[in-house]
Structure formats: C-alpha cells, structure tokens
Chains A and B, each alone.
Chain A
Amino acid sequence: MDKWVCEVCGYVYDPAEGDPDNNVPPGTKFEDVPDDWVCPVCGAAKENFAREA
C-alpha cells in the first residue's frame, strides 16, 4: 500500500497507521479514505495529496 504526501505541509499518510484520530482506521488505503477527510496537520483537502515517490 502506497504512502501519500500532503503537498502543502509535507505530512505523510501511511495506510498502515491510518488516521485514527479522524476516524480512519489503520490499514485503510489512501484511495479508501473518505473524500471529506482533510490533512490532520494543515487541513488541506485530499486532492492536495500526491503518491510518495
């Protein structure tokens, strides 16, 4: 499962960890994260993320 990087602040979404503070359980692929989820650090929208190279 790929990690995705927030292009605004640099936060890395790691599917193994998910984002449990915001109701995204560990093991959730980035593609399966809800569309209204935002970067937990800077609040950027999901569309501001790019697959980690």
Chain B
Amino acid sequence: MAIIEIKKNIYWVGTVDWNISSFHGYSLARKGSTYNAFLVLDDKVTLFDTVPEKFKLDMYHQIHKLVKPRDIDYIVVNHVELDHSGALPFMVEKCAPEKIFCSPMGEKSLLSHFHKPEWPVQVVKDGESISLGQRDVHFMEARMLLWPDTMFSYIPQDRLLFSSDAFGQNIATSRLFDDEHDLNLLLSESRHYYTNIILPYSSFVQKTLARVRESGLEIDMIAPDHGVIWRSHAGDILAAYEEFASQKVKAKAVLVYDTMWQSTEKMIKAVGDALMEEGIEIRFMSLKRFHHSDVMGEFSDAAGLVCASPTHNNGMLPLMADFLTYMKGLKPKGRVGATLGSFGWSGEAPKAMAEVLETAGFELPVEPLRVKNVPTHENLAQCREMGRALAQKIKDKVAAQS
C-alpha cells in the first residue's frame, strides 16, 4: 500500500484487508475492513497501534518508506485486541522502542496477551499527556469502547483524535478519507458496525461523548482503527454516535423467523400484514437468508421484534437460538416483542423465545402464540390480532420518546 499523509508529518501506515468477510467471526463485513495505524514524525517518532500479526510485514514495509523502524521511539497501544496489536511483538523487536504507552488496563492486557514483562511499558492514566517534541499527546480513557483497556489519543496541535474502535466502519478502500465516499453509505456502515459491535456499551459512549463536549476539545479529524478517516464530516459521525447511543427507535418492526414446512412463515406473514395495515414499517428476515448481524443492523432503529420458529425437538430451531443469543448479548434497550410458531406435538418454542426476550428486557404485550401443524383461517386471524396489539405498543413506545 501507499503511505498516506493525513496531517503534516502524520502518516497512515496501516493495512487494508480486502478479503475479509467477517469481523472477528461474529459480524459480517462484506466490504472488507482496514486496520489503521499511524506514524507521527516528531522529535520522538511515535507509532500509534499496529495491525494483525499476518500483516506485520506489510506494516513493516509501510514504515520503511518513512523511517528506519529502529528510529521509532514510542509505540502507543490504544487497544490491545489482536487486530490492533497482533504485529506488536514483531514491531517491538524491530523498533526496540524506548517506551510503550498504554492504559492501566492495557498493561494487564498486554501482559496476558504477549507475556513480555520485560517490555518498556509505561502506563498513562486518563488525562495524562506526553510530549513528542512539536506535539503533545493527550490520553483519554475510553473503557468499553470497545474493551476495558481502550483509550483515545488526542494531539491538540493537529486537532486530531485517534479513536481506536469507536467511529469505525468495515470498509476496505484505498480512498482513506470520508469525503472520498458517499456520506450516507458511510453513516449506514457506521450504524451496522455500531449496532453489532458497540451497542452494549451505549452508556459508555454517551459518557465519553459528554466528556468530549465538556472538555471543549477541538476536533477536526477523527482517525478510527477501522475504515475511513473523518476529516470533512467529523461532526456528522459524532452526531450519529449520539443518535445510535440514544437507541431512539421508529415505528418499525423486524420480523425474524425460520420455518420448516411454511406454517410458521404463514403465521408471521399474517402478523406482518396487520402491522403494515397499522402503519408500521416492516422488514421480514428469514434466518436462512440473513446472517444474525444483518438482522441486528435492521433492528437497530426498530421498536419491535417478532420472532417466529416452529418447535423442533422440544425447543426452537438452531438458527433462532443463534440469533437470540447474539441479540441478547448486544443489549438493545426499550423494545417490544412477540413470539409465535407452529408445532407438531409439543410446542415449546414460542414460550422459550419469549423467555429470552423477557430476560433481554423486552416488553411483551401479547402472549406467545402457537398453532398445531398448519394454521387455519381462525389461527391466522389470531396472528393478525397479535400484529395489531403489537402495533399499538410500538406506537406508544415511539410516542413516549418524543
């Protein structure tokens, strides 16, 4: 890759992962991703973050275009997860840095990942600064964005924030700046990324955004560790994060299902018809067609979730169990739900799904609904009734938040 100067004497030295299709194996990343790392040329030559281990030579060659790796004085580790630190042992060996800066939790994480107590690690606490010569680096703890060790690094002289995983998107591109892309596409990718990766920590996002506002930091460039660098639309991505973290929902329902002989599909379609008649935007998603991360992307701004699965071996179908486990972990707030499905002889699935939704904090205005084998017209009328009741609750939710 070509190196790219993002600010005077500050260079992108990361890698583009054109071929990746899944982010850490749990969220699809169909457009690939990037692992951004940055080199600051100052009195103290400083590397911010690294790349996965398998890209270590790419990074090494990137750096070689600018300086000899031995000339690197400092390495800042904003986050120890292996997509940003996999190449760190190699780089430490090649650079022999004077110091490696990380957060207090980062120190523990470095040790338990790499088992190198001899590394020259220096812990920096929230609010601490170091000087690189012409520039300072101001450190800001950003716990749970995305891990306990995460911190942001801010260079006031350049009004530049290195934000680790926050404000990222999974896009592989050689056009590294936001204004080289369609803004709506970037914000849509940012929402998908946020919902699947950062959503459970929304309260931390709100706290961090409030701190950034109150501190009066002037930010004209945000450089996350994945995807494009925000230089023309830094304000837009900050505003988008306020919105994502608020979990504001609209009059929309995602209808997610799996089906064996189409009885359950008929039932959930009837629920969807009634929702539509009541003016609710609906989105059908068969789990055979859509990955759990795509469903969550759609669910991100929806007030309602309808889950339908037939009963299989006294429980729900495995794709539904997969989805519910994933969804519950992401801790969406303030949603309403309903469950239903057909069965042959025992019929546990609707109740089992409802139990998961309940423990995930959903309001369930309608009892789980089950139908033996193939639904009759009366059964489908019950499904439509379920849809109408849910629609009312969705409207109440949306009205309550404005």
Which residue numbers of A lie inside 8 Å of B, CB to CB? 8-9, 41-44
Contacts and interface: CB of A to CB of B under 8 A. Distances in A.
B201 A41 contact: no
Contact residues on B (Cβ < 8 Å of other chain), bracket: under 10
Contacts of A44: 203
B141 A43 contact: yes
B148 interface: yes
- Is chain B's binding surface mostly helix, strand, loop or mixed? helix
B201 A8 contact: yes
Nearest to A41: B148
Contacts of B144: 8-9, 42-43
17 contacts: A8-B144, A8-B200, A8-B201, A8-B203, A8-B204, A9-B144, A9-B148, A41-B105, A41-B148, A42-B143, A42-B204, A43-B141, A43-B143, A43-B144, A43-B148, A43-B204, A44-B203
Contacts of B143: 42-43
A44 B204 CA distance: 8
Contacts of B148: 9, 41-43
A42 B105 CA distance: 9
Contacts of A41: 105, 148
Interface string B180-203: 000000000000000000001101
Nearest to B143: A43
Interface string B125-156: 00000000000000001011000100000000
Contacts of B105: 41
A42 B292 CA distance: 26
Most buried by A among B141, B148, B203: B148
A41 B148 CA distance: 6
A9 B200 CA distance: 9
Most buried by A among B144, B201, B203: B144
Contacts of A8: 144, 200-201, 203-204
A9 B201 CA distance: 9
Contacts of A9: 144, 148
A42 B148 CA distance: 5
A44 B206 CA distance: 13
Nearest to B126: A43
A44 to B, nearest CB: 8
Nearest to A21: B104
Nearest to B200: A8
Contacts of B200: 8
Interface string B145-181: 0001000000000000000000000000000000000
> Which 3 pairs from chain A and chain B are nearest by CB?
A43-B143, A42-B144, A41-B148
A49 B320 CA distance: 29
Contacts of B203: 8, 44
Given A8-B200, A9-B148, A42-B148, 4 more contacts: A41-B105, A41-B148, A43-B144, A44-B203
Contacts of A42: 143-144, 148, 204
A41 B141 CA distance: 13
A48 to B, nearest CB: 8
Contacts of B201: 8
A9 B203 CA distance: 12
A8 B204 CA distance: 10
Interface string B195-220: 00000110110000000000000000
A41 to B, nearest CB: 5
A8 B200 CA distance: 8
A10 to B, nearest CB: 11
A44 B207 CA distance: 11
A44 B143 CA distance: 9
B79 to A, nearest CB: 14
A43 B203 CA distance: 11
A43 B103 CA distance: 13
